[in-house]
Amino acid sequence: MTVGSTDLGQTINAFVASFNNPDLDRVMSFFAEDARYLPGRGPELRGLPAIRAAFAPQFAGRYGAMTFDVYDRVIDESRARATIRWACRLDLTGEHGKRAIPPLRWFARLRYGGRVQWHGLDVFHFDATGKITGKFTYATFRLPIWERAS
DSSP per residue, 83-126: EEEEEEEEE-SGGGGTTS-HHHHHHHHHHHTTEEEEEEEEEEEE
Q: What is the pLDDT of residue 95?
A: 86
Q: What is the pLDDT of residue 58?
A: 93
**Cβ distance 48 to 56 under 8 Å?**
no
> Buried b / exposed e across 21-46, counting CB within 10 Å, b at 16+?
ebebeebbebbbeebbbbbbeeeebe
For 56-69, what is each residue's pLDDT tens digit? 999 999 999 999 99
More confident residue, 149 or 115: 115
Measuring CA to CA, which residue among 120, 40, 127 is closest to residue 86? 120
- Alpha carbon distances (Å) from 88 to 7, 21, 65, 131: 24, 14, 10, 23
More confident residue, 148 or 126: 126
Predicted TM-score of the model (pTM):
0.87
Q: What is the pLDDT of residue 146?
A: 61
For 68-122, what is each residue's pLDDT tens digit? 999 999 999 899 999 999 999 999 998 888 888 888 888 888 888 888 888 999 9
AA letter at 91: D
pLDDT band at 143 (very low <50, low <70, confident <90, very high): low
Average pLDDT over residues 131-143: 86
What spatial distance separates the first Cα and last Cα of the chain, rounded to whole Å?
A: 43
- Alpha carbon distances (Å) from 71 to 32, 105, 120, 126: 26, 27, 10, 21
Beta-bridged to residue 120, according to DSSP, are: 86, 139
Residue 1, pLDDT > 50, answer no
Pick the CATH number of 5-148 from 3.65.10.10, 3.30.70.20, 3.30.460.20, 3.10.450.50: 3.10.450.50
Could you give the count of Cα atoms lying within 13 Å of 146 in the half-sphere of its Cβ?
17
